[in-house]
Amino acid sequence: MVSKTALDAIYKEQREFVINDKSVRRDALMELPVDDVSHALIISGIRRCGKSTLMRQRIGKDTDDAFYLNFDTVKLFNFDVEDFELLDELIASTGKHNLYFDEIQTVKGWEIYVRSKLDSDFKVTVTGSNASLLSRELGTKLTGRHITKELFPFSYMEYLRFRELKASSENFGKYLDNGGFPEYLKTGNENMLGELVEDILYRDIAVRYGIRDVNSLKALCFYLAGNFANLASANRLAGLIGVKTAKTVLEFMSYLEDAYLIQRVPKFSWKLRTQMMSAKKIYFIDNALARAVTVPASNNAGRRLENAIFWELRRHYHDIYYFNEGGNECDFIVKNKNVPRMAVQVCYELEHGNRQRELTGLQDAMKSLKLDKGYIVTFDQTDKLRTESGWIDVLPASDFVQMMAK
């Protein structure tokens, strides 16, 4: 429990933080709904990716009617469901009706409280760092009363704004190295990245799910950080990290995914069973974060480029697959409204030794999915090819990402 005096002091201290915000504008700000008092806005994403910043930018200059409270602080560690009554009193004393709650998921019963505020015509915005926990609680207590927006570390375009750079292949190379975590870009302190992973593994996963074998969880995370953009077999990984069953590996991977450290990408198929049974490719949230916790093997230029392109696609689309028929693979198939819209092959450098393989995989995907255009994303090459399957644009990564952002 906390006292009303302590709660008031924390609110006033954090309010100064909101008023004095001078952060770089996030692209997601323009995608947030406006003036909807019937639905709670939920901003979810990995720790330290900028959710609090996006929330403060949403508040903007309208601080007079904004009540902001960040629950992810040791000062509110003992906040429990009974303290919501004190919070109500504090909110009433301020006369504010736009409520902004940072990491409120740490408090048991938060979703019931948010529902009560919506019923009382308050406007509510919430952030959280665990997709599964948020969706489970929202689904039971806020069905039909919430809108969710996912946030990721800086995109390439946001990185350019932050660094005050112009788009170019050279600067995309810098983005591949530096990643998109705002705090790391400000300080250059790689220890911060290692501490972030530790926080997620222990606070967001081990404690929350009661995992005793934290060493195996960490081993799996570090292995995936060093082997992203590859297929992952649960049976093989079980042996590598020293757990008894593939089921444990799958559970661990689902926790890592819910915490936004990884994403598993299924094989494209019109048959759901084939999607479920086929091996999935793994992508790690950020190249710099992966480098901070694993061996240099993860610095493979081609896989780092593929990883970065995946997350750029993921910012715009949720349904992403890989294509593999007869051993010919295309890295990404993007579906929108259950219709395949885009086929994308990623190749750091298109050259004589890999040209046929890359083209064949992309062409097979285009033929199978009846797409008359495909893309090969390279580091810095440009070309346009006419094939029997349709046109193929060869684009530098910097140009492709700018195209996606339009």
Q: Pick the more confident residue, 134 or 249.
A: 249
Domain count, the chain: 2
- The answer to pTM > 0.75 is yes
- Amino acid found at 199: D
pLDDT score of 357 more than 90: yes
Token representation of residue 140: 């039971």
Q: What is the mean pLDDT of residues 345-369?
A: 97
Q: Are residues 137 and 43 in the same domain?
A: yes
* Last-in-domain residue among 129, 150, 171: 150
* Last-in-domain residue among 120, 135, 150: 150
C-beta neighbour count of 247 within 10 angstroms? 11
Q: What pLDDT is recorded for position 133?
A: 62
Q: Are residues 302 and 377 in the same domain?
A: yes
Q: What pLDDT is recorded for position 230?
A: 95
Q: Cα–Cα distance between 190 and 176 in angstroms, integer?
A: 15
299-309 pLDDT, tens digit each: 589 999 999 99
pLDDT score of 68 more than 60: yes
Q: Are residues 115 and 162 in the same domain?
A: no
Q: Pick the more confident residue, 167 or 137.
A: 167
Using CA atoms, how far residue 16 sits from 13, 19, 33, 66, in Å, is 6, 5, 25, 12
Q: What's the start-to-end Cα distance of the chain, in Å?
A: 48
Q: Are residues 287 and 332 in the same domain?
A: yes
Q: Are residues 166 and 312 in the same domain?
A: yes
CB 171 within 8 A of CB 160: yes
Q: Are residues 118 and 194 in the same domain?
A: no
200-219 pLDDT, tens digit each: 999 889 988 999 999 999 99
Q: Are residues 112 and 162 in the same domain?
A: no
69-102 pLDDT, tens digit each: 999 899 998 899 899 999 999 999 999 999 999 9
Q: What is the mean pLDDT of the chain?
A: 92
Q: Are residues 37 and 109 in the same domain?
A: yes
Q: Are residues 382 and 361 in the same domain?
A: yes
What's the distance, CA 4 to chain centroid? 35
- Farthest-apart Cα atoms in the chain, separation: 73
Q: Are residues 238 and 344 in the same domain?
A: yes
Q: Cα–Cα distance between 379 and 360 in angstroms, integer?
A: 20
Q: Are residues 97 and 194 in the same domain?
A: no
The CATH number of residue 14's host domain is 3.40.50.300
* Domain residue limits at 73: 4-150
C-beta neighbour count of 398 within 10 angstroms? 23
221-245 pLDDT, tens digit each: 999 999 999 999 999 999 999 999 9
* Last-in-domain residue among 150, 173, 206: 150
Q: What is the mean pLDDT of residues 275-288?
A: 95
Q: Are residues 74 and 206 in the same domain?
A: no
Q: Cα–Cα distance between 154 and 349 in angstroms, integer?
A: 25
